[in-house]
């Protein structure tokens, strides 16, 4: 085994072990231009030098701060400094805080009126729950047609189909949480089977279109970079969203 104190370079498996990540994640970082190996041996093994080790340390620190891969790439390229990137992340957190404030107020109003036997107003009950609040965001990222197709598909579902679609997502999230709590690795066979179900669920939501490797891995990044997604998975245990992201990245490598 390589001695990390005296090495000038590390094979990919050793670097993954030292840093607590996976070799699949490191290969994905290479594929998206974040972290290239210093050399590739004749046997095909990837090796990383001290500069790569330091760069990986920065990547992992920025990930811990909640930045997505695109934002990290900007920071490392010098196009965006860490303060600016964190400012963007803070804006997202504050938006989520405001949405949660509205939702809490909505539930509190419903509870108080129910206790007093007063009539409920629909706009009070559903403040903070409007699914169309993401319309502009979706159109900006994927185009207006993508939003229209998705919205039309969801509206076409029966109540039972909508309930089943939501139940599948909740089951997947809960299984991720249990796997994370059990200490399983994101690229373990057990977790990758959960991720396969997750991939199929995403494809169903995309009206049968199978996500590409980059699209699926990018979606995993959103689960950490966007607090609205993070909240869904981290309710099953702190750090579960990052665990899901790494599992999705590992799965994307095999697509």
Domain layout of the chain by residue ranges: 9-77, 81-129, 134-253
pLDDT at site 147? 60
pLDDT, position 197: 95
pTM for the structure as a whole: 0.48
Share of the chain above pLDDT 70, in %: 75
Q: Quick one: 122 exposed, middle or buried, by C-beta within 10 A (0-12, 13-18, 19+)?
A: exposed
pLDDT over threshold 90, residue 247: yes
Instruction: List, for residues 207-243, the tens digit of each pLDDT value.
Output: 777 888 888 888 888 888 777 677 777 776 678 889 9
Among candidates 48, 63, 62, which has minimal Cα distance to 18? Answer: 48
According to CATH, what is the number of the domain 134-253?
Answer: 1.10.490.50
- Mean pLDDT computed over 191-210: 88
Alpha helices in 117-158 (DSSP H): 122-125, 135-142, 144-156
pLDDT, one tens digit per residue, over 59-118 is 887 887 767 788 788 888 876 676 776 676 677 667 667 767 776 776 777 677 677 776
The CATH number assigned to the domain with range 9-77 reads 1.10.1660.10
């Amino acid at each position: 085994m390589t001695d990390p104190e005296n090495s000038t370079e590390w094979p990919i498996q050793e670097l993954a072990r030292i840093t607590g990540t996976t070799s699949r994640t490191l290969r994905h970082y290479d594929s998206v231009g974040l972290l290239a190996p210093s050399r590739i041996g004749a046997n095909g093994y990837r090796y990383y030098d001290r500069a790569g080790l330091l760069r990986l340390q920065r990547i992992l620190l920025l990930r811990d701060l909640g930045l997505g891969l695109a934002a990290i790439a900007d920071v490392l390229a010098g196009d965006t400094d860490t303060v600016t990137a964190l400012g963007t992340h803070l804006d997202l957190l504050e938006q989520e805080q405001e949405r949660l404030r509205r939702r809490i107020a909505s539930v509190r109003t419903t509870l108080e009126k129910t206790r007093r036997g007063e009539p409920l107003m629909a706009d009070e009950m559903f403040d903070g729950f409007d699914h169309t609040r993401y319309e502009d965001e979706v159109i900006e990222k994927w185009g207006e047609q993508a939003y229209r197709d998705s919205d039309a598909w969801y509206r076409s579902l029966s109540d039972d189909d909508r309930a089943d679609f939501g139940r599948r997502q909740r089951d997947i999230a809960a299984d991720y949480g249990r796997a994370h709590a059990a200490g399983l690795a994101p690229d373990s066979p057990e977790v990758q089977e959960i991720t396969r179900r997750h991939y199929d669920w995403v494809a169903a939501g995309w009206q049968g279109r199978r996500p590409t490797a980059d699209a699926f891995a990018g979606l995993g990044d959103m689960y950490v970079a966007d607090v609205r997604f993070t909240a869904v998975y981290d309710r099953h245990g702190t750090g579960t969203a990052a665990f899901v992201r790494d599992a999705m990245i590992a799965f994307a490598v095999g697509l």
